[in-house]
Amino acid sequence: MIFEAVSTIAAAGLAGYSYLKSKGTGTSDSDKIQKIFANAEWQGKKGESIRLQRKQKFEGGYEYVYQLPLGFDRKKIEEKKYILEDGLNVRNQSFEINFSDLKDLKFNKTIVSQLKNLIKTKRKKKEIEVSFDGMLKIKIYDEPMPNIIEWRESLLIPNSWSVPIGITRKGDIVRHDFDNSKHLIVAGATGYGKSVILKLIVTTLIRQQPETVTLSLIDLKGGSAFHRFKDCKQRKHYSRDPETAEQVLKEVQNKMNHSFLKVVDKGYEDVKEAGIKERHFIIIDEAADLSDFPESMKIITDIARRGRSAGYYLIFCTQYPTAQVIPSQTKRNIIARLCYVVDTETASRVVLDEGGAEQLHDLPGRGIYKAGPKRYTLQSPFISNKQIASIIAPYIMENPKDGGDGQKSSETTKNRKHSLILEEV
């Protein structure tokens, strides 16, 4: 069974290649695409071909727009995009070598293998995007996106609530400004960079707003992402299990209610207009683990709805983007979404309200950010744990007020049998 699936994929991937090999490569990408369509037998029931309607240049590449034969299932192409990509990259991998590359070459007997290596590293792979809006659109980009972008100090904007979340193909920095689009949903299949971006956001907020940011960190993956921040002075709550997370959310909601009334009763729209500097972030890594806790889910929806005015911003992260995990009311109140690679178009639709994330390049950190009409394909910067440690070092407290567990009420009463506990009556 597995062998069969693998061999089918391999055969399909070779389809574009073998056709071009036997018939010779076309001169342009549109010729090649047409040949790949024919070879992969992407055509109407009576052999009608997929017809090119127009080709247009956009900044960074070309877009080819096709009319599909009536009744043709577009998923055949969308789900097997790699056939197109493989075919387009056959014998056509251009590369640029400049002077600085040549100056490192050593003219000895290894020169041939040095040149081969240089060509290998410089080869440009054509990347494509396939979409459908009544017409089939194939975008072919001139430049591949970098596979990794190292985090650097210059990405920071001191004193702002704007956080760098990615770099586009053109090299533009995409930022999520929490004072504009208050909350954020982060989703993606396992291992594609959700926790890394959450750590980057937390580190950036601590660094840019050390005196005004408050963090409630809920890490339901056992603390692997947020443990490093638990002794930071900006951390208010820290929870690693759904039970204490519920307690944390209740406390946060109480505080949010006070802040909400303070702002709204004075006639302001939000904290920004009221001139209040403090912001409180509630960050949940793996929100799916709360979906069986209706009280927690209710509070999350309430924070998404009213938190924007009160300065309580939610970052809701999940590996399981389903309607049950991201309730529609929560989603409606969170317009900004960051979606890394997902398995299916359905998952992409749950997060972004459109397909696309299932077709992203299979790389950690490659994602789509959507906030209202804005939509960017991006590569998120990668921040290492070592970099994080050195940035947050000045804010680590030696004796955190709650011993660092951040779970004052419920944990203390349950576990510390011999402590004297004074509770407010």
Ligand X SMILES: Nc1ncnc2c1ncn2[C@@H]1O[C@H](COP(=O)(O)OP(=O)(O)OP(=O)(O)O)[C@@H](O)[C@H]1O
By the criterion CB under 6 A, which residues form the site for ligand X? 148, 188, 190-196, 221, 319, 364-365, 380, 382
| Residue 193 marked in a binding site | yes
Of the two residues 195 and 239, which places its CB atom closer to Mg ion in the complex? Answer: 195
Return the one option of Mg ion, ligand X, none that residue 364 interacts with (CB less than 5 to 8 A, by type): ligand X
Answer for the pair 182, 306: CB distance below 8 angstroms, yes or no. Answer: no
State the minimum distance, in angstroms, from the CB of residue 166 to ligand X: 8
Considering only 34, 39, 195, 259, the residue that binds Mg ion (CB under 5 A) is 195
| Residue 395 marked in a binding site | no
State the minimum distance, in angstroms, from the CB of residue 221 to Mg ion: 6
CA distance 370 to 41: 35
| Residue 192 marked in a binding site | yes
Does 239 bind Mg ion (CB under 5 A)? Our answer is no
| Residue 190 marked in a binding site | yes
Of the two residues 194 and 235, which places its CB atom closer to Mg ion in the complex? Answer: 194
Of the two residues 86 and 285, which places its CB atom closer to ligand X in the complex? Answer: 285
State the minimum distance, in angstroms, from the CB of residue 99 to ligand X: 30
Q: Which of residues 164-183 bind Mg ion (CB under 5 A)?
A: none
CA distance 97 to 93: 13
Angle formed at CA 216 by CA 152 and CA 396, multiple of 5 degrees: 55
State the minimum distance, in angstroms, from the CB of residue 181 to ligand X: 21
Of the two residues 111 and 148, which places its CB atom closer to ligand X in the complex? Answer: 148
Residues 6+ apart with CB under 8 A from 235: 215, 217, 229, 400, 406
Of the two residues 356 and 365, which places its CB atom closer to ligand X in the complex? Answer: 365
For tokens 């992407």, name the residue.
Answer: 42
**Using CB under 5 A, which of the segments 186-194, 229-237, 339-347, 366-374 binds Mg ion?**
186-194
| Residue 82 marked in a binding site | no
| Residue 393 marked in a binding site | no
CA distance 242 to 248: 10
State the minimum distance, in angstroms, from the CB of residue 225 to ligand X: 7
Residue type, 258: H
CA distance 229 to 198: 12
Q: What are the angstrom distances between the C-alpha of 16 and each of 38, 87, 274, 296, 315?
A: 9, 4, 60, 51, 42
Shortest CA distance to 90 belongs to which of 22, 175, 7, 153?
22
Of the two residues 310 and 341, which places its CB atom closer to Mg ion in the complex? Answer: 341
| Residue 194 marked in a binding site | yes
Q: What are phi and psi of 168, to 5 degrees?
A: -85, 175
Q: What are the angstrom distances between the C-alpha of 386 and each of 92, 125, 151, 379?
A: 40, 32, 12, 21
| Residue 356 marked in a binding site | no
State the minimum distance, in angstroms, from the CB of residue 317 to Mg ion: 8
Binding residues for ATP: 188-195
Binding residues: 188-195
Chain residues that interact with Mg ion, rule: CB under 5 A: 194-195
